[in-house]
Amino acid sequence: MAKQTLDQWIREALLDETKDGKCTAFALVHIAGKEVEVHVQKLGSKPWDPKELALIFRKKAEDHCSDIAGMQTFNLLAFYGGRNECQARRPFTVHGEQSADQAQLMTEGPTPQGIVQQSMRHNEALMQLALRHSASMVEASSRMIDRLTAQNEKLSNDVMEATAIVREIAFERQDVADERKMKRLEFQRSTEERKKWLSFGPALVNSVLNREVFPQATADSSLIDTIVDSLSEDDIMKLGGSGIIKPEIWGPLAQRMAASLKRRRELAESNAEIAQISSPENELQ
């Protein structure tokens, strides 16, 4: 806020309608332990210019303290309605006697009162400096917090967008993996069905036609493969140890079943390798 000048205060005093009556006089007093009257200006009916009055009182104050060293304080008193008690006052300071060099170094006289005044002025300056420093630090911290908040919001939005993209890609890959799995299972079922019917074919054709269209070994192998496919390895072991089949028959039959089991294992391992190679996870690596 700009400091109010002396002429501005005089203008307000002249126009102040809150007082009981019009402003009738101003008095200038010097504060030197006690108030010493310096000049009284009665206004009368003349329309005074506030700037003119300010120049008069400042000139009177400077003339009064021209032989006094240090900073001097004056009070400008305003009187209303012709009364002898002032109803408004405005303090201001004036430099006393000092050279141009002293004006830059000394503002108070070398007295105990001047020391107190100088200490108060220095404390005020230090307090203003500390408050300005604190205000600048608070402002800088506020700007930094605003920037960090904006950066965090942007990073959060970026993470949410990236998460949504990754989730969408994962769903799409899962759909592709499920579709491939269904096709693979469908292919395996159709292959197993064709194999089953083909295994029945040689023996069925020979039986229907009552002659050896396919070699008996081929028909027997197809029949053995069908039997082995319908049993687990534990079932086959139980069958051999049950004693139902005679040992002289079980020996060659076990060899044929072992060969069929070996082919079944090899086929299962081959299907597993194909499934592993065609999985979406391996394709992405």
At 185 the pLDDT is 79
Q: Which of 165-174, 189-198, 219-228 has the highest mean pLDDT?
A: 165-174
Name the token pair of 122. Answer: 């220095």
Please, which pLDDT band fits residue 228 given cuts at 50, 70 and 90?
Answer: low
Distances (CA, A) of 135 to 3, 77, 125, 129: 21, 37, 15, 10
User: pLDDT tens-digit profile of 157-177?
Assistant: 999 999 999 998 988 888 888
Work out the pLDDT band at 181, boundaries 50, 70, 90: confident
Whole-number average pLDDT of the chain: 77
Predicted local confidence at residue 227, as pLDDT: 67
Q: Is the pLDDT of residue 204 over 60?
A: no
Reported as a pLDDT band with limits 50, 70 and 90, residue 34 is confident
Question: What's the pLDDT score for residue 124?
Answer: 79
Domains and CATH numbers, the chain: 6-108 (2.60.40), 183-278 (no CATH)
With 60 as the cut, is the pLDDT of residue 256 above it?
yes
Q: Which pLDDT value is given to residue 125?
A: 79
In eight-state DSSP terms, residue 39 is: E
**What is the 3 state secondary structure string of the chain?**
CCCCCHHHHHHHHHHCCCCCCCEEEEEEEEECCCEEEEEEEECCCCCCCHHHHHHHHHHHHHHHCCCCECEEEEEEEEEECCCCCCCEEEEEEEECECCHHHHHHCCCCCCHHHHHHHHHHHHHHHHHHHHHHHHHHHHHHHHHHHHHHHHHHHHHHHHHHHHHHHHHHHHHHHHHHHHHHHHHHHHHHHHHHHHHHHHHHHHHHHHHHCCCCCCHHHHHHHHHHHHHHHCCHHHHHHHHHCCCCCHHHHHHHHHHHHHHHHHHHHHHHHHHHHHHHCCHHHHHC
Q: Of the segments 19-23, 30-34, 257-261, which one has the largest average pLDDT value?
A: 19-23
Q: What sign for the dihedral angle of Cα 52, 56, 59, 61?
A: negative
Rounded average pLDDT over 115-127 = 81
- Taking the C-alpha atoms of residue 261 and residue 231, their distance in angstroms, rounded to an integer, is 10
Among 84-98, 132-146, 266-280, where is mean pLDDT lowest? Answer: 266-280
> Taking the CB of residue 180, how many other CB atoms lie within 10 A of it?
15
More confident residue, 226 or 218: 226
**113-117, 169-173, 240-244: the lowest-pLDDT one:** 240-244
Q: Give residue 197's pLDDT.
A: 57
Per-residue confidence (pLDDT) for residue 103, from 0 to 100:
44
Please state the rounded mean pLDDT for residues 252-262.
71
Dist. CA 204–CA 199, nearest whole Å: 9
